């Protein structure tokens, strides 16, 4: 058996373990849940920097965003989930499955800023949190512009 | 102004900051998102203990569950969110707003086991993970039995 064939088999086996046991509509629902929960936590941080700053609340929110960002949600973009309905009809653009390199860069930028957000939150400075929220939000928007169908 | 009146005013002011700026249907959607994302991560851990154990994936999943569990989702059970539709019609039972002590105990038990799950995941032992997943799942079920309307 050639190396290439072995590697292909390994890839199939890996895909066949955890990810492939998730049904397409479940995968769509799970990823919408991840984004939905991050949206709450982004909104909370925004409220804190615009209103009364509660360091503990910002830490909780930033920790949740960081954990979701690093959870490996890419596994939820299974083949066959470019169309379909989870909580609602997916708004994933086909480019997610065709522009892997661009998507990878967008995902890495998002993860980087989410990790930085958690650090900034731990320090507890409102102005720095506001600035980092802007950077983090920029990576969300960048990815949405390229890979999410508009409302 | 009497102390009681001042305390009531403080409570209203606090409630008026972050939490009250979230619309009821958004609050319902956000909490459904949190549970939905945890469901994925519970399922992933289950797949890992039943199939090939991938320590890194289990850590990611447990970290996400822990962060969501500790995020302060209680703030999403705003007055007026006992009925309504987020992603779907809420299945929150009225007891959430009437049996505060029982609910608090259920929430604390869940947080405790979610924190323990993250510790066990970090150690990387499949059998211990399976055992802890059972304990964590038990706290989910306990709360669902008492506070969530069945399918």
pLDDT on residue B96: 97
pLDDT surpasses 80 at B5: no
**Contacts with B87 from chain A: Cβ below 8 Å:** 32, 36, 87-88
Domain at B25, CATH number: 1.20.120.10
pTM: predicted TM-score of the whole model, two decimal places? 0.88
B122 is in an annotated binding site: no
pLDDT on residue B8: 45
- Which of the two residues, B80 and B5, has the higher pLDDT score? B80
Beta bridge partners of B38: none
Q: How many residues does chain A have?
A: 151
Name the stretches of chain A with pLDDT < 50.
1-3, 5-17
B145 is in an annotated binding site: no
pLDDT on residue B20: 53
For chain B, give the mean pLDDT: 90
Q: What is the total count of domains within chain A?
A: 1
pLDDT surpasses 70 at B1: no
**Contacts with B26 from chain A: Cβ below 8 Å:** 40
CB contact under 8 A, B57 and A72: yes
Residue of A nearest to B21 (CA): A47
pLDDT on residue A18: 52
Question: For the residues B13-21, what does the mean pLDDT come to?
Answer: 51
- Among left, alpha and beta (phi > 0; psi -120 to 50; other), residue A84 is left
Question: For the residues B71-78, what does the mean pLDDT come to?
Answer: 97
The residue to which tokens 């830490």 are assigned: A59
Domain residues for B123?
2-147
Question: Cβ of B63: how many Cβ atoms within 10 Å?
Answer: 21
The first and second tokens of residue B73, run together, are 């989702």
pLDDT surpasses 60 at B3: no
């Amino acid at each position: 058996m050639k190396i290439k064939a072995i590697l292909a088999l390994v890839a199939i086996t890996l895909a066949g373990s955890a990810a492939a046991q998730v049904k397409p509509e479940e995968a769509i629902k799970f990823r919408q849940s991840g984004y939905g929960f991050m949206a709450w936590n982004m909104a909370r941080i925004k409220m804190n920097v615009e209103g009364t700053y509660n360091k503990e609340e910002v830490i909780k929110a930033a920790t949740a965003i960081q954990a979701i960002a690093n959870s490996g949600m890419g596994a939820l973009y299974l083949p066959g989930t470019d169309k379909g309905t989870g909580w609602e009809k997916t708004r994933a653009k086909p480019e997610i499955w065709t522009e892997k390199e661009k998507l990878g860069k967008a995902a890495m930028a998002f993860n980087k800023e989410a990790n930085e957000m958690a650090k900034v939150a731990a320090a507890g400075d409102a102005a720095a949190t506001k600035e980092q929220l802007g950077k983090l939000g920029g990576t969300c928007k960048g990815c949405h512009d390229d890979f999410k169908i508009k409302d």
